[in-house]
Amino acid sequence: MFYKNARIFTPDFRFHTGAFEVRDGLFGEILPENVPADAVDLNGATVIPGLIDVHSHGNSGADFSDGDYEGLKRMAAFYAKCGVTSFAPASMTLPYDVLEKAFATAKQLHAEAPEGLSRLMGIQMEGPYFSYKKRGAQNPDYLKDPDFEGFKKLYEGCGGLVRIVDVAPELPGAAEFVAKAKELCTVSIAHTDSDYDHARAAPTCTTPCPPSTTATPASFPPQWRPRAFRLRSFATVTISILPLSVSPSPCSVTGWC
């Protein structure tokens, strides 16, 4: 199916008016030279890349950390309405058993991938390995020093869905934690009272950052191929797509690949 007369955001970071194709639920040609006569006229609707939210605790009266599967589905439905095509809910500083329950709902939603909802692609584990001084809204009663065995149990329990784990690098055991955890996911510095030397002693990047490269949708793994995503609101059609090519920084996408 082809769509025409759309204002499309393209890899040159500009909007261009033209057409695009949706093939087997995925986007095909972008701005083709030849457009079929039966292409659907979008009447100038804006077409933008599908958004990815990597840190959000909740919406629609639901909080990911509550461990409520129906609430998590409401969150995913709201994201979809806003053009967020995939997301990674963030947890809070809570006891391990509470986190385990929340992570189980993420595992279920990831496996079921209900039609029409934003795709849950991972978890950001925010806490409990934080500085008391810089705890912010985190509950101080549940703060812990970095604990790899406890983290590993949570990681394995949700099928490896934890893509990012946050840690304050000045805490006892942080360097050892980072050395092991970075083999499983991206480790991020957060809620820290660290100085420069402590931060340098616990590097979080899992691999060196080579020069940015250009990738096309055809080179993405199947689970990352862009899918057609349409929302109809009154007389307006909004379609979210991934750009034809991207220039990612490997450090920024390590936790997602």
What CATH number should be reported for the domain holding residue 73? 3.20.20.140
- 25 and 112 housed in the same domain: no
- 68 and 145 housed in the same domain: yes
Query: Pairing state of beta strands 230-233 and 236-241?
Result: antiparallel
214 assigned to some structural domain: no
Of 104, 210, 114, whose CA–CA distance to 162 is shortest? 104
Give every CB contact of residue 213 below 8 A, 6+ residues apart in sequence. 247, 248
pLDDT tens for the chain, 257 residues: list them: 999 999 998 888 899 999 998 887 677 888 888 999 999 999 999 888 788 998 999 999 999 999 999 999 999 999 999 889 899 999 999 999 999 999 999 999 999 999 999 999 999 999 999 999 999 999 999 999 999 999 999 999 999 999 999 999 999 999 899 999 999 999 999 999 988 877 776 655 443 333 333 333 333 344 444 444 333 332 333 333 333 333 332 222 222 22
Whole-number Å distance between alpha carbons of 45 and 167: 43
Whole-number Å distance between alpha carbons of 55 and 188: 12
- 36 and 128 housed in the same domain: no
User: 202-206: which pairs have CB atoms within 8 A and are 24 or more residues apart?
Assistant: 202/167, 202/169, 202/174, 202/175, 202/178, 203/178, 204/178, 205/251, 205/254, 206/182, 206/254
- 30 and 55 housed in the same domain: no
Beta bridge partners of 47: 8, 239
Tell me, what's the pLDDT at 212?
31
Chain Cα centroid distance, residue 26: 19
Tell me, what's the pLDDT at 203?
59
- 25 and 77 housed in the same domain: no
- 58 and 185 housed in the same domain: yes
Domain count of the fold of the chain: 2
- 236 and 187 housed in the same domain: no
- 35 and 97 housed in the same domain: no
CATH number of the domain to which 25 belongs: 2.30.40.10
- 89 and 17 housed in the same domain: no
Whole-number Å distance between alpha carbons of 131 and 144: 9
257 assigned to some structural domain: no
210 assigned to some structural domain: no
Tell me, what's the pLDDT at 3?
94
Range of the domain at 153: 51-201
